[in-house]
Amino acid sequence: MRDDTRRLITETRARRPEEVRAAAARRARRPWLDSSGKLLIIAADHPARGALGVGGRAMAMANRFELLDRILTALSRPGVDGVLGTADIIEDLLLIGALDDKLAIGSMNRGGLPGAAFEMDDRFTGYDAAAIADGGLDGGKMLLRIDMEDPATASTLAACARAVTELASRRTVALIEPFMVSRVGHRAQNDLSPDAVIRSIGIASGLGATSAYSWLKIPVVDEMERVAEASTLPTLLLGGEADDRQEEMFARWQRALRLPGVRGLVVGRNLLYPPGDDVAAAVDTAVSVL
């Protein structure tokens, strides 16, 4: 990122905060789906949970300017449709005009910090439906982790259901990322067995007063043919943890993308911090599997 771009972001934030709203208002928007019917969204909401690690690098995402630079590289590649992030990242990108003709999806619940005693009580500490609509964003994403032994899951279910209803009332996409989880020590561990993923899909699909604007964001697991038939909702595949076996990962995505209802990818660290650090090459390979 050039020094003048850094200064533009930091000086505007310090001296002209009203410019954030103005930048959102003048952003050129695009349809949710183009003629290809497929999407590639760059996920960049990890830092808001304090999740800065990538592979063996515990603080890989700690430098905000480096993260923004990688996002800009990804957005510049043909076939990339947009970005998913919290307000701080979305607004940095708005201020430099990087989201024109791109989808901007707001990340809503970031309060369930990894390792925290309250992790399953996943508060909506980011965007709400009103802010997404007011800011001209194209959708809202929520994480729904379901721990059958943690009473705090109930409040997260209720909050997600309310968000789905409120987004739908504004004709805005709700992107739901569900997992069945259990505690292993102090950490929540996602159950990636096909049956557990299918169960989570069933729960997520029924959230809210309408599912008309609901989309799912699910992991690529075994028996994806069976998993993909668990719902009629449009589905995006998540990239998952950083994977050094890039060719195998791309092959798994390609197989899953052939399934009915699967509409694309939402990938973060695997494309922004790939082995070898060639963001453009990793993104171009992901585009090719679409």
The CATH number given to whatever domain includes residue 147 is 3.20.20.70
Q: Is the pTM of this model over 0.75?
A: yes
Q: So what's the pLDDT on residue 245? A: 86
- On whether the CB atoms of residues 28 and 100 are closer than 8 A, the answer is yes
Helix, strand, coil percentages (3-state) for the chain, rounded to 5, are 40, 20, 40
DSSP assignment, residue 223? S
The C-alpha angle with vertex 103 and arms to 131 and 79, in degrees rounded to 5, equals: 165
Question: Taking a C-beta distance cutoff of 8 angstroms, is the pair 104, 82 a contact?
Answer: yes
Burial 110-139 (b: 16+ CB within 10 A, else e): bbbbeeeeebbbbbbbbbbbeebbebbbbb
User: What's the pLDDT tens digit per position in 109-168?
Assistant: 999 999 898 999 999 999 999 999 999 999 999 999 999 999 999 999 999 999 999 999
Mean pLDDT of the chain: 96
pLDDT greater than 80 at residue 266: yes
| Averaged pLDDT for residues 97-110 | 98
Instruction: Give me the domain span that covers residue 44.
Output: 3-289
Q: How far is the C-alpha of 23 from the C-alpha of 135, rounded, in Å?
A: 9
| Number of domains into which the chain is organized | 1
Chain segment 179-233, per-residue pLDDT in tens: 999 988 778 899 999 999 999 999 999 999 999 999 999 999 999 999 999 999 9
